[in-house]
Structure 1
């Protein structure tokens, strides 16, 4: 599916330094569970954001964090499908941001190491970060709710304020998560600890009798960096170290310490039976490529079955991809692991991402499973069918004919900085002005002969004019074309919908970075087989350079102005986020806007 999982694994590369911390010393931390319940109407809860201290490793001093209800990560909120929940997200955080940010050039010293490196040429403190107040707004990622409840980035509150939200929960069973979404500083607020899981349950899931209780465990992955004192000892203070290419853009944060549920390299005692793990990548930018290995380093992925994605259950269990499971920031996966064949053994969840190689490589192991050497009764049987309600979305059959089309370009601008444009399609024959900046041409292979489509940029920054207008309860196909010649993969998240991938195609780009446009139509596409799980319901999808990814989703359950963005949080804060509007179809005759969407000038409809 992605460049990440087609390269060779790095299981046999030398072990990197652990900076004085013992691997697998501490038990995993399981977040507490909040189960709101009301027989007479919407349940109501208050979730407080507070300043607290957390022990990331028993060999470290305590770390000051911001956390929901004082837990790092926050409590797991469990609700039933169709039962609304009202949440007062209350900001009770004292003081200013509890992290130090530094910036320095990529050079001869690996950037994935602790300490500020202010003794190195070019390294400097990022001024103003430690003075930032607690300015927060919560987004329930994956929720279908009205825009006023969605966590609009500008609608953050200071300490003493509350954000009042209502979540209808009219969705199938799925793993959502909640996190901060404040404008310009999401990467910093999330880094301080403002994340937590939110699980939706329904009758279809109940009927499967999946492992539950102590045998259903959230695994929230994240990477962090820590400061050091003058002697080089770790202090426990969060450090946000950002490298940059001299003369070029900043590189998104990655850190040398991987945490699972807020603990660096934890262990977990498990019975020799089936477990269900609700996996979330809550990192700022790190991709993981996960495998289960035994004490000899031999992959044991045959014990793992993938049963769900961001938007709920798959139609049937699936093995992991041959090279491991790639998990981008914000993606969630529902995994079953059968430990019955490993009595008395130890296994590791490890990251074999080939990007985690070379001088800046960090410890690949994430956690250790210690399987008890005793037999436990386990009545669970892996079902052949999971979701009987699942329908595969395809053009010409299950995708409604009146769907809309949205076109988005991912690119590098003249300064080498990632950008995201929403596009309006020009009328047939109109190819823009010669040399015009912001023009993307694509020769669509879906028609015979291929149709030349010419697009003009509507907006590139969050506060540019809105370019995408969709109809409530209507379907839309989003075409995301990564035209950059190189650069990073982007996990693209669209609010208010679950979608399915229709196709993934590669191409040789004709985008001229200096001119800010394609110099000839992009053509010669090659289909890339989708991973089986990409046919499931998702809300975040990886788009690699030189790829066109098309997804289809329905936009119901709420109206108003929403966001879509790259979920590399550094990119989101630096401009890769755009708005879109969902409104009732009856409103169309009265609208005066211009921009994308089939009902607006230059839009496309199939």
Structure 2
């Protein structure tokens, strides 16, 4: 039985500096183990890496016709996740893990009829002590959230607005939506993704396979002549554990708190899966490719780098003489200018990276995509999963590559802090077991899910939200409805704040990380011991039918799914 829990009182063995220059903590580098083969296995299942081709999810192209509605069904089905495993029983949208990639055009509305065809028994163990997962509720219930979308609250996938295949739905007042969910797509070209968002069991439903890509396209993107068609590929990164019979393994807690006897603090798997396949390979041509990356893992951060390797994935050297990452977009869409010559990407759960890799001149070469982020990030190192996927430049060039990455991409409109109507100071905290530091629950704004709403911005207003992280974790925080911009981060005296409630800063404000400026985001890394400031305007979808005094209900939460399920999520309301 693998260890699934780790005390927050970890020994810090060496320093780590983030892309923003933040001093964090880390154990012995995972790269020392990544150079060896094979990786350490904890589940007892030993799988050969890079033996399966990368699957590409099926694509649904919206027609743009008025009042277009598509049906997306959730089913239990079986799928081969590795050559040497029996088929795995999964849940998936349209019987696929990931679900179909949905492509829509900017400002052309699309409605989705989310239909459940799932059984009444859950695939995974449920902790009924978690709020929202009580034994009185149906074991299998779902609600879909389009992450990053500007949508009305009834269509946003409110965590209590769940439904079942038998026609049951969430509690009174949760605004269960019996209609198809309407997505205005009133956003520029961007990479969104959809996933289950049911209160108390999001971590289990997403782990079972309920996630997929949703791309919005526009004319500005089309004019850039980026790689497209077969040369534009989505990559959904997740980690998993499997039993020998191929079934999913989601561990139960060992020696956990009496409050939550089954829930685990964070999930980390032995194997990385890309598009539902364990450590796959992709054969590419010597040309540019565009990759849409989403970190859809429950808790794992990915710190990605390419290494020269042989055709089996064995790393040959530590040289940076590899194709670079050219980042052209992030959560909220395309950047105003590309970030070139990147050799590392740090992707938190919920974040998206839109990148181009140029394999020109790399004929017959292979490159391993390796993760060396400690887990838990940044204090861990115990739960390593290094191998991600392998690129083999083995396909002949089918035609001349005319794609480009221009010096200028799309215009950018910065939000001005002086226009903000208010700044909210929002605490990010955890309750620990005194005996060993085991985390029992997490809190945002020092309040639980069911307590009165304290965040109530007015529609169209601009606010600054300052996240005060007194925990030992990096929490990826996601705010529904809006895109925000990162202002800065600043260290503060944590003990003083805990004892007096006063913010005493110990350093100057630090500029956002390079891929956060200037950029639109909807998920932000809140580092321990830092105040992280973001600015956002609470715009409603174009043409929203509202009346003065309306209160529109949304949520904000940590995107580590185990945290989100255990109180690290709060409702907020937009006042019209």
TM-score range, shorter chain: 0.7 to 0.9
Structure of greater Rg: 1
Partner of 2:197: 181
Whether the 8 Å CA contact 1:242–1:252 is kept in 2: the answer is no
Q: Is the 8 A contact 1:408 1:420 kept in 2?
A: no
1:573 equivalent among 525, 550, 565:
565
How far the C-alpha of 1:65 sits from its partner, in A, is 0.6
Deviates more, 1:403-412 or 1:492-501: 403-412
What is aligned with 1:549? 532
Match of 2:265 among 241, 251, 266: 251
Tell me by how many angstroms 1:341 deviates: 2.5
User: Which residue is 2:334 aligned to?
Assistant: 313
Q: Note the alpha carbon deviations across 1:455-487, whole angstroms, 9 max, x for none.
A: xx5xx1111001011111221111111023xx2
Does the residue aligned with 2:31 lie in a helix, a strand or coil? Answer: coil
Which residue of the partner structure matches residue 106 of structure 1? none
Shift of 1:6: 8.6
Q: 1:12 aligns to what SS in structure 2?
A: helix
Aligned pairs (5 A) from 1:494-513: 494-510=479-495
Instruction: State the 1:79 CA deviation.
Output: 0.2
1:407: Cα distance to partner? 2.0
Q: State which of 87, 102, 105 in structure 2 corresponds to 1:77.
A: 102
Shift of 1:164: 2.2
Match for residue 445 of structure 1? Answer: none
Asked if 2 retains the 8 angstrom alpha-carbon contact of 1:348 and 1:365, the reply is yes
Q: State the partner residue of 1:239.
A: 249
The answer for the alignment partner of 2:61 in structure 1 is 35
Q: Deviations over 1:350-375 (max 9, x none)?
A: 10214489884444110001102634
2-structure distance, mates of 1:163, 1:243: 39
Q: Secondary structure at the match of 1:340?
A: coil
In the alignment, the residues of structure 1 paired with residue 422 and residue 321 of structure 2 have an alpha-carbon distance, to the nearest angstrom, of: 44
Give the superposition deviation at 1:394: 4.1
2: distance between equivalents of 1:333 and 1:38? 26
Aligned residue in 2 for 1:286: 300
- Work out whether 1:374 is the aligned partner of 2:396: yes
Runs of 4+ in 1 over 3 A off after TM superposition: 2-10, 99-102, 160-163, 242-250, 297-302, 319-322, 354-363, 373-376, 414-418, 517-521
Q: Unaligned 5+ residue runs, structure 2?
A: 1-19, 128-132, 168-177, 310-315, 434-438, 542-550
- Alpha-carbon distance change, 214 to 160 in structure 1, aligned in 2, over 3 angstroms: farther
- Deviation track 1:269-316 (CA, whole Å, cap 9, x = no partner) reads 111000000000000000110011111143456522011000001111
Post-superposition offset of 1:4: 6.4
CA distance in 1 between counterparts of 2:271 and 2:189 reads: 32
- Seen in structure 2, the aligned counterparts of structure 1 residues 186 and 465 have a Cα distance that, compared at 3 Å, is same
Q: What is the aligned partner in structure 2 of residue 342 from structure 1?
A: 362
> Are the equivalent residues in 2 in contact too, given 1:149–1:165 (CA < 8 A)?
yes
Does the aligned pair in 2 maintain the 1:89–1:163 contact within 8 Å?
A: no
Partner of 1:434: none
Check the 8 A contact 1:281/1:329 in 2, yes or no.
yes
1:152 alignment partner in structure 2 = 158
What is the rounded CA distance, in whole Å, between the counterparts of 1:354 and 1:565 in structure 2?
22
Aligned partner of 1:277 in structure 2 is 291
Partner of 1:410: 428
Asked if the contact 1:36/1:44 (under 8 Å) is kept, the reply is no
Q: Which residue of 2 aligns with 1:493?
A: 478
**Alignment TM-score, normalising by the size of structure 2:** 0.82
> Once the 2 structures are TM-superposed, how far is the Cα of residue 128 of structure 1 from its aligned partner?
9.7
Q: Give the secondary-structure state (helix, strand or coil) at the position aligned to 1:471.
A: coil
Contact 1:350/1:364 (CA < 8 Å) preserved in 2?
A: yes
TM alignment of 1:98-109, pairs within 5 A: 98-99=123-124
Please say if residues 24 and 267 of structure 1, whose CA atoms lie closer than 8 Å, have aligned partners that are also in contact: yes
**Which of 188, 191, 195 is equivalent to 1:172?**
188
Residue-pair matches, total: 506
Does the aligned pair in 1 maintain the 2:432–2:441 contact within 8 Å?
Answer: no
**Do the aligned partners of residues 239 and 354 (structure 1) sit closer, same or farther apart at CA in structure 2, a change above 3 Å counting?**
closer
SS at match of 2:393: strand
Secondary structure of the residue aligned to 2:245 is strand
Q: 1:297 to 1:148 in 2, by over 3 A?
A: farther
SS at match of 1:366: strand
Greater percentage in strand: 1
Equivalent residue number for residue 385 of structure 1: 408
Q: What runs of 5+ residues in structure 1 fail to find an aligned partner? A: 103-126, 228-233, 423-456, 585-606
Q: How far off is 1:507 after superposition?
A: 2.1
Matched, 1:221 2:237: yes
Change over 3 Å in CA distance of 1:140–1:521 after alignment to 2: closer
Cα distance in 1, alignment partners of residues 380 and 513 from structure 2: 28
Separation in 1, partners of 2:341, 2:568: 31
TM-score, structure 1 as length reference: 0.78
